[in-house]
Amino acid sequence: MTNRQHRRLKGALAASVAGLLALSLASCSSDAAATPSSGPTGDPVHGGSFTYLSFNESAGLDPIKMHFGNQSGDTDQGEAIFDTLMYQDTSGRPVMKTAESLTSDDGVHWDLTIKKGIAFTDGTPYDAAAVKFNWERMADPANGAPNAAGMANVAGLAIKSDLVLSITLSKQYRSFPQTVARYLSMIGSPTAIKALGKDFAIKPVGAGPFMVQSWTRDSELRLVRNPKYWQEGMPYLDSMNIRQVSDEEQRLNTFTAGQADAAMAGPSTPSAKRAADQGAQVFTKPYGGGINMIFNTRVAPFNDAEARKGVAMALDLGQLNEVISQGTSPAPTTMFVDGTPFYEPDVKFLSAQQNKAQAQQLFNDYAARTGGPVKFKLTSTTVLQQAFELIQAQLSSYKNVEVTFQAIQNTALAPALVSHDFQAVSYAAYGDDFEPTLYNQYYSTGKQNWSGINDPVLDKALDQGRNTADPAQRKAAYKTAQERLVALVPDVFVERYEFNYMFSPKVGGFQAPSSGVQWEKVWLAKNQ
């Protein structure tokens, strides 16, 4: 494989895993700031047009079609059009934005209060009724919303006053602000949604800093300043263009040639380094978890834990690392990374150190027990095809293992997961906390528990971590959860994940919290 192919594969990873970010639990804040850029100093300047290069396109500019709470095309575009009730800063802490507060005395009954004086660009009030309408739409199974998991624990919604929405959960959940920030924060105009129907996805109406001027799918979203934006004096830019460039090398070259003001490098450390070497500002955020291979524990052969363990110990992750990231991003050995609250250095994945002899023995034992080899189809998105074909090749060197390979388009991944139509499949689970996404992926009844893993000890630990605000209790609970995941092997992590933003030295106010860019704060220095 050439260096160019290496870079293209690494950059393409981002497109196949959008929508899967899990973030740290902490108390809600109304004034926590994201990490500021190191751009031009002085007061922000009004005016100018800004070009940003994203790596993937949205299925539609409608909250029920978009993945939120991560650095993806959906979030990039949604933040600009809809703004957010709240977002997560770089530490994962929920920060109030269009919401004034989200409070509860018991973790079951919550009051969401909206800031005064906000309206959608069509004049519709941005209030409790608008949030209720959007959330009910998100929960409607007929809409198939990617973020419907956010409504899984919501038992009832009631309008308490114009600006206060009363929320009743089905059980105690003290981490609910995490879920709102992750899944439920972008709100569209009910008036426009009712009037436009399906066309709302191409002509969205929000209350964000920008309004849609035009959208050419898989090419460019043109946005213009919202003159009635609720934050006085913002946004600073007159217009913004979000261009979709899926190829990592092309995106890097376009940015470094000065044809864009900022770009997402996705999980590509080499690309970010090259941009920095050429004078760009770079913001990097590493996460725990990463790119993984999920086992379907509902069906053979991976309803057998020993088969899963055998695959985990058979893989050469060092070789995979060379293919995926040219050796720049070491394979995960633990769920979380050093320096984060729930890092457990002694709780290591079975895949952390290859053990060929033990893997072969597990495969032999499986064959003796069942009368046949560990036989399965390995499925991956096309952007991860080379890496997962290497996994197939590695496993095929063992006796009593038979692996076929299938590559699918990224758009076919969600249907395969939802229908459980796979045996082992490429995916991603990454973050600094189990809340909320990793909870949903590993809890027995989680809406995104694609593996089907079902373990009472794991469930209990995840619930304990979810329903306490005490850091020590959460750490103890999540250590147990990590130990159970090592024992159960519902998946194998093959690559760490991190996001890199590249932006020009003339860009001011470019802030990159864990859940997208705050576009209203971005400005361009005129004489730089």
Reported as a single tens digit per residue, the pLDDT across 255-266 is 999 999 999 876
DSSP string for residues in 225-268: E-TT-SSTT----SEEEEEE---HHHHHHHHHTTS-SEEEEET-
Q: What's the whole-number mean pLDDT along residues 19-34?
A: 32
Q: Fill in the amino acid letter for 124.
A: T
Q: Fill in the amino acid letter for 520.
A: E
* DSSP-assigned beta bridge partners for residue 159: 165
Which residues are CB-neighbours of 258 under 8 A, at least 6 positions away?
504
Q: Fill in the amino acid letter for 334.
A: T
Reported as a single tens digit per residue, the pLDDT across 120-167 is 999 999 999 999 999 999 999 999 998 898 998 999 999 999 999 999
Q: Fill in the amino acid letter for 77.
A: Q
DSSP string for residues in 457-493: HHHHHHHHHHT---HHHHHHHHHHHHHHHHHH-SEEE
Q: Which of 193, 80, 87 is nearest to 140 (CA)?
A: 193
Is the pLDDT confidence value at 36 over 60? no
* Predicted local distance difference test score (pLDDT) of residue 463: 94
Reported as a single tens digit per residue, the pLDDT across 373-416 is 999 999 998 878 988 999 999 999 999 999 999 999 877 888 89
| This prediction's pTM | 0.77
Handedness of CA 398, 487, 18, 424 (dihedral sign): positive
> What kind and span of H or E run contains 10?
helix 3-16
